[in-house]
Amino acid sequence: MPWVSTPHERPARFDVGVVGAGRVGAVLGAALARAGHVVTGVSAVSEESLERAATLLPGVPVKPIPDVVAGAHLVVLAVPDDALADLIAGLSATGTFTPGQLVLHTSGAHGISVFEAAADSDIVPLAIHPAMTFTGTELDLERLHDCCFGVTTVDLARPVGEALVIEMGGDPVWIAEEDRVTYHAALAHGSNHLVTLVAQSMQLLGEAGVDDPARVLEPLLSAALANTLQRGDAALTGPVARGDAGTVAGHVAMLRKVAPDIRPTYLALARATAQRALLSGRLRASDADPLLELLAHEEDQP
């Protein structure tokens, strides 16, 4: 495989087949096309995916999955996590893969062990996951320039995997196979749960009569995020960091009446925040004890 001889070489121009014109697949296909590769086929079923393929991959023929894969130098499997293993097994069992073919999946949760069923196909497995939330529009192409990609592959293919990421405008970050689940859990915990947290905060501001909750929250949350990314636990402020059990008790009592659906989230995060503040030295044990006792008592209440 001469295209992986050094980490600094650009990969050859590939014929690319994209399996799945979802938000990720269509965008990465467009990014590869913009880098000079040729997308020779894409699979799409729903009206949304067909429209996305037409918009982001104009002129690329929509084909059945076996036809997308056959003959492509690089195959991009952009399908849901739980469908990936069965798809790989099916393509391998039907002899659709060709020896030496680069087969890249975009799942964050999986590394290259998901390719075990294709071990006899002599493909080159790559797990390349963009650490970004996608809209499935051209906006994502610009966002890729500020995006890290988790890369996991065999040692010999690492240079080409990293080069492909750079060509798409991203920054490759090596993730060992055994650390892939930890990597994905970190991203899901931070991004997905952030959506829930912010949506709940907006809900409470609405309950308080605020007409534009986003306007109130944006400066505060932007500053909190920036400070945390720079300083970690040292960025913590607020009643939990101060050990102000009375204020926290007031919040919990209000939530019981006004937003009982938010109360379990508040209690869980307040406990986690208190524990991190205590371990990092931001909260004294004498102040933490009554706060943790309050939270434990409230968590036991229906």
In the chain, what is the greatest distance between 2 CA atoms, to the nearest angstrom?
Answer: 68
Say if CB 55 and CB 162 are below 8 A apart. no
276 and 143 in a common domain: no
Q: Who has greater pLDDT, 182 or 6?
A: 182
Count of structural domains within the chain: 2
Whether residues 218 and 148 fall in one domain = no
| Same structural domain, 156 and 293 | no
Q: What is the mean pLDDT of residues 96-122?
A: 96
- For the chain, the average pLDDT equals 94
Residue 302 has pLDDT above 90, yes or no: no
Give DSSP secondary structure letters for 208-261: TT-S-HHHHHHHHHHHHHHHHHHHGGGG--SHHHHT-HHHHHHHHHHHHHH-TT
Shared-domain flag, residues 128 and 194: no
The tens digit of pLDDT for each residue in 76-96 reads: 999 999 999 999 999 999 999
Which runs of E-coded beta strand occur in the chain? 15-19, 38-43, 74-77, 102-105, 124-130, 148-153, 171-174
Q: What is the CATH number of the domain that holds 196?
A: 1.10.1040
Per-residue pLDDT reduced to its tens digit, 178-189: 999 999 999 999
Clarify whether residues 194 and 162 are in a common domain: no
Q: Looking at the predicted structure, is the pLDDT value of residue 218 above 50? A: yes
Same domain for 166 and 193: no
Same domain, 106 and 237: no
Q: 152 and 18: one domain?
A: yes
Would you place residue 8 in the very low, low, confident or very high pLDDT band (cuts 50, 70, 90)? very low
What separation, in Å, do the N-terminal and C-terminal C-alpha atoms of the chain show?
A: 62
Query: Which residue range(s) make up the domain with 236?
Result: 183-299
Which of 6-10, 81-85, 103-107, 132-136 is predicted least confidently?
Answer: 6-10
**Is 66 in the same domain as 88?**
yes
Which of the listed residues 175, 194, 225 is the one where a domain comes to its end?
175
User: Same domain for 85 and 163?
Assistant: yes
CATH number at residue 71: 3.40.50.720
| Boundary (domain end) residue, out of 175, 192, 210 | 175
Domain match, 162 and 202 both: no
Same structural domain for residues 22 and 127? Answer: yes
User: Is the four-CA dihedral 202, 206, 212, 217 of positive or negative sign?
Assistant: negative
Last residue of a domain, which of 123, 150, 175? Answer: 175
